[in-house]
Chains A and B, each alone.
Chain A
Amino acid sequence: MLELHGITQVFGGVTALQDVSFRINANEITGVIGPNGAGKTTLFNIVTGIYSQTSGTITFEGRDISRLPVERLAKLGMVRTFQNIELFGQMTVLENVMVGLHSRSHSGLFACSFKAPWAIKEEGRIKKEAYEWLTFAGIEDLAEVTAANLPFGKGRLLEIARAMACHPHLILMDEPAAGLNSQETQGLAALIRRIREMGITVVLVEHDMELVMDICDRIVVLNLGQKLAEGTPREIQDNPEVIAAYLGEDE
């Protein structure tokens, strides 16, 4: 589904990522973990086109996406959520999800201005489907609330609903559990499982180990910009290098 080969990222004098390679399998939930500063978010930003890697390639569903700009990825089936949720604050919850359907709709500037019949029809379809995604995430009762006024936990759910509206094949979540209480985290876990059941591949960057060990099929561990280990949760938990990286060498 997604392959990274030799991703290296150098910022000025700092090497944030050094020759990182791994594969994400389709229809699995993969976790990317590592201590702070390991380069997880940088990696995410590179995969999703926000940064340009210094060297290395990224292949998505067989296609080389290494140098594609951000906006092309949604149509290809890749979407992400953000660590500090990036909602469209001035718009309502429903409208946020409607923007998620942007890559799955076509009405252009002129069609919209002149209210072309196909534009009107499409608008109806967008609204209906956006509502369905809100229901999927369990926040349909908040449809008309201004996004900036949402409590944090609901904001997370909105981001996911919005991302799902893009009809992705792969969804990358950047610390989705950050700022959530244990009840909300459990709800999140259930939601992610449902997403996987729909045939969508999920990759998460996370610090919440319980969540990671609970839902992930595979885990990739990064440390100091390099891939440290890769395997099932069990394997990772028993890996002495991983333990050392997190706890530090103390013996």
Chain B
Amino acid sequence: MKRELIKFALFALCVLLAPLLFRGSYLMNVLVFVGIHTMLAVALNLLLGYAGQISLGHAGFFGLGAYASAILTTTYEWNPWTAMALAAVTVGALAFVIGFPILKLKGHYLAMATLGLGIIIYIIFNEWVEMTEGPSGFSGIPNLTLGSLVFDTDRKNFYLVWFFVLGCILLSVNLANSRIGRAFRAVHDAEVAARVMGVNARLLKVQVFALSAMICAIAGSLYAHVMTFIAPPSFGFTVSVELLTMVVIGGLGSIYGSFLGALLLTLLPEFLRFMQDYDIVFYGGLLMLMTIFMPGGLVRGIPELFRKLAGVISRKGDAHA
């Protein structure tokens, strides 16, 4: 556990120092999005990696948080922090209730059910025009404020978002090394034995589903206030798949892997901007290649690659000796 905390401290340090290294506003903006995506990926990773459950509808929770915050703060002029808290709790409760029937399903059926859920939510965003302004998007969302501090620049938003991201990562680290984290791993390794020990596998899965949804909702609220404008396409099936790709690429079950995946998949489209239309092909190809050749993700695959290379080099050395 000590080691985990040191890792986290180092990571947090890097994050806090990043704005000093990357000055340009454009880069700051990108890093804000890396933050949002990291939060979403970490949330999905909690579910996928620890509970072994797939979700193809997580963008739906992201969107629910975003729209809830947007509507409450703009149409009803609520305090944004209260709105965010309420949105998170409501989405968490919704996920908890839906979680019981959904998590009874396994494998593909679970994937399809979450996909269906995500799409239903997306359709509501598109069709309930009176509330969400429909396909043209919802604008005029206020920035978050803390006393006299208004989060209206990329730099300030960077710290805002990453404060929450670091919080989530810390939560995940704490969870992994706790009684509950052990209970999850036990269920993963030998579910029957875990249940014999009194672990209520079903309840745990639903709880982590709810927690995962809550984190996505908070990310959504932050997104809404940072962008000040949201539209349904940001919360559709494609986004859910992108999140899945991030987690898979980084490495299932690895928190920092999720960050790596989020970083890569947020930065690459920026660099590949001239190849705008190639991004779907890229995602698809990447998903397939990673699943076939590096199923453990980059976090495990790259050290493995180095080890193999080292092995090859030392063998070559022996041959020449």
Which residues of A approach B to under 8 Å, CB–CB? 48, 50, 69-75, 79-80, 82, 86-91, 95, 98-100, 102-103, 105, 107-109, 112-115, 119, 122-123, 126, 162, 166
B14 at the A interface (CB under 8 A): no
CA distance A162 to B204 in the complex (A): 21
Residues of A contacting B194 in the complex (Cβ-Cβ under 8 angstroms): 88, 99
Q: Which residues of B contact A113 (CB under 8 A)?
A: 171-172, 174-175, 178, 211
Q: Which of B174, B186, B200 contacts A99 (CB 8 A)?
A: B186
Nearest residue, chain A, Cβ from B180: A112
For A74, the closest partner residue in chain B by CB is B198
A75 to B196, CA, bound (A): 10
On chain B, the residues within 8 Å of A87 by CB distance are: 189-190, 193
B104 within 8 A of A: no
| Interface status of B181 (Cβ within 8 A of chain A) | yes
Closest to A109 in B: B207
A169 CA to B147 CA in the complex, in Å? 58
Given the contacts A102-B198, A103-B197, A166-B198, A50 and B174 also touching, CB distance less than 8 Å: no
B-side interface mostly: helix
B70 within 8 A of A: no
Contact B189 A88 (CB under 8 A): yes
Q: Could you tell me the distance in whole angstroms from the C-beta of A106 to the nearest C-beta in chain B?
A: 9
Contact of B179 among A71, A86, A88, A105 (CB under 8 A): A105
Contact A112 B179 (CB under 8 A): yes
- Known contacts A109-B175, A112-B178, A75 near B198 by CB under 8 Å: yes
On whether the beta carbons of B192 and A86 are closer than 8 Å, the reply is yes
Bound-complex Cα distance A107 to B177 (A): 13
Task: Give the CA-CA distance A80 to B198 in the complex, in Å.
Answer: 11
B185 on interface, CB distance cutoff 8 Å? yes
Question: Which residue of the partner chain, among B174, B181, B185, B208, contacts A88 with CB atoms under 8 Å?
Answer: B185
Report Cα–Cα, A160/B100, bound state, in Å.
33
Contact with B193, one of A72, A88, A95, A126 (Cβ below 8 angstroms): A88
Contact of B196 among A80, A95, A108 (CB under 8 A): A80
Instruction: Determine how close the nearest CB of chain B comes to the CB of A160; give it in whole angstroms.
Output: 13
Output the least CB separation between A5 and chain B (Å).
Answer: 23
Complex partner residue of A48 from B172, B174, B196, B201, CB under 8 angstroms: B196
Q: With a CB–CB cut-off of 8 A, which chain B residues contact A103?
A: 197-198
Closest 3 pairs (CB-CB, A-B):
A103-B198, A74-B198, A112-B178
Nearest chain A CB to B188 CB, angstrom units: 8
Are A88 and B195 touching (Cβ within 8 A)?
A: no
With A89-B189, A112-B175, A113-B174 known, 4 other A-B pairs at CB within 8 A are: A74-B197, A88-B185, A91-B186, A103-B197
Collect the chain B residues with CB atoms within 8 Å of residue A80's CB: 196
CB-CB nearest in chain B for A113: B171
Residue of B174, B189, B207 touching A114 (CB-CB under 8 A): B174
User: Chain B, 207-249, contact with A by CB distance < 8 Å: what is the 0/1 string?
Assistant: 1100100000000000000000000000000000000000000
Q: Which residues of B contact A119 (CB under 8 A)?
A: 178-179
Q: Does B315 contact A (CB under 8 A)?
A: no
Known contacts A107-B179, A119-B179; A162 and B208 CB within 8 A of each other: no
Bound Cα distance A84, B197 (Å): 16
Inter-subunit contact A100/B197 (CB<8 Å): yes
Residues of B with C-beta under 8 A to A126: 179
Closest A-chain residue to B1, C-beta based? A123
Interface centre among A74, A82, A86, A87 (most CB of B within 10 A): A86
